[in-house]
């Protein structure tokens, strides 16, 4: 490659959700034109929501020239939304990044940092009431697998980050690269950003019975059977 790779910086913090990070990263790192760096507070290993620790490649202070800033969700976001020092740093690097993306409750952190003002966004469907309490003029979408509004990309909970990432690769690199990355991972992505059975499962929208949700009927019934 003669050109510089597209640089994606993933923001790690104590209590990040594992799949919020490694679902997207699995897909992104299958694309030769993309390079991923992992930023931690100080370069020391960072504990996930699930406990297991990951070694960041750079510290927060070393994030520069990131083309895409990607903020995952997880238990740690509950603390971050009140961490003015972190939010101030995120606001600054987010304002400089050409694209800003989040998975799951990462959008609550973006909103708390003021990075979603005037944008539409979504978040985790179990934590939607909490997440959507942040920001002043954010148009929160309760039913969406992911939302792209200009250069802001926000996905629903956890696994939704993989579907958003396939769309992001298609947008930033090419459709062929997106399909290749998904096929390499033997992952069949949802390509419709409005597909979202979890909005209904979590009571955010009434059951519509529309065709787009047909695929989750059996699954939804299993869930109903043991109380949600």
Query: What are the residue numbers of the active site?
Result: 104
Task: Please identify, using beta-carbon distances, which residue of 211 and 226 lies nearer to a copy of itself.
Answer: 226
Tell whether residue 139 is a contact of a copy of itself (CB under 8 A).
no
Position among 94, 112, 157, 193 found at the interface with a copy of itself (CB under 8 A): 157
How buried is residue 2: exposed, middle or buried, by Cβ count under 10 Å (0-12/13-18/19+)?
exposed
Task: Please identify, using beta-carbon distances, which residue of 63 and 113 lies nearer to a copy of itself.
Answer: 63
Task: Please identify, using beta-carbon distances, which residue of 85 and 222 lies nearer to a copy of itself.
Answer: 222
**CA–CA separation, 22 and 180 (whole Å):** 17
Among positions 158-177, residues that touch a copy of itself (CB under 8 A) are: 158-160, 162, 175-176
**CA–CA separation, 190 and 194 (whole Å):** 9
CB 16 within 8 A of CB 76: yes
Strand partners, 37: 9
Task: Please identify, using beta-carbon distances, which residue of 120 and 159 lies nearer to a copy of itself.
Answer: 159
The number of beta carbons lying within 10 Å of the beta carbon of residue 82 is 9
Structure tokens at 106: 């990462």
CB 174 within 8 A of CB 153: no
Starting from the edge strand earliest in sequence, which strands make up the sheet with 34-40, in order?
Answer: 58-59, 34-40, 6-11, 68-71, 99-102, 152-155, 146-149
CB 16 within 8 A of CB 41: no
> Smallest distance from the beta carbon of 81 to a copy of itself, in angstroms?
20
> Smallest distance from the beta carbon of 222 to a copy of itself, in angstroms?
5
Among positions 23-62, residues that touch a copy of itself (CB under 8 A) are: 23, 25-26, 29, 36, 38, 45, 50-55, 57
> Smallest distance from the beta carbon of 65 to a copy of itself, in angstroms?
19
Where along the sequence are the contacts to a copy of itself (CB under 8 A)?
A: 17-19, 21-23, 25-26, 29, 36, 38, 45, 50-55, 57, 124-126, 156-160, 162, 175-176, 179-180, 182-191, 197-198, 201, 215-216, 218-219, 222-223, 225-226, 228
């Amino acid at each position: 490659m003669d050109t510089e790779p597209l640089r994606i910086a993933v923001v790690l913090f104590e209590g990040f959700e594992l799949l919020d990070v490694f679902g997207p990263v699995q897909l992104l790192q299958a694309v030769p034109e993309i390079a991923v760096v992992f930023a931690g507070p100080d370069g020391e290993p960072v504990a996930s929501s699930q406990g297991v620790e990951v070694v960041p490649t750079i510290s927060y202070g070393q994030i520069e020239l990131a083309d895409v800033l990607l903020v995952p969700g997880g238990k740690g976001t509950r603390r971050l939304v009140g961490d003015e020092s972190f939010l101030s740093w995120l606001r600054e690097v987010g304002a400089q990044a050409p694209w800003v993306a989040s998975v799951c409750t990462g959008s609550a952190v973006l909103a708390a940092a003021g990075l979603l003002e005037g944008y539409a966004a979504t978040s985790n469907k179990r934590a939607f009431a909490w997440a959507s309490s942040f920001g002043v003029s954010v148009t929160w979408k309760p039913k969406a697998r992911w939302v792209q509004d200009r250069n802001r990309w926000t996905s629903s909970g956890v696994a939704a980050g993989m579907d958003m990432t396939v769309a992001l690769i298609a947008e930033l690199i090419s459709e062929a690269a997106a399909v290749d990355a998904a096929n390499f991972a033997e992952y069949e992505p949802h390509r419709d950003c409005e597909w979202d059975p979890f909005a209904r499962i979590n009571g955010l929208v009434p059951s519509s019975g529309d065709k787009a949700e047909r695929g989750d009927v059996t699954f939804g019934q299993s869930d109903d059977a043991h109380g949600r």
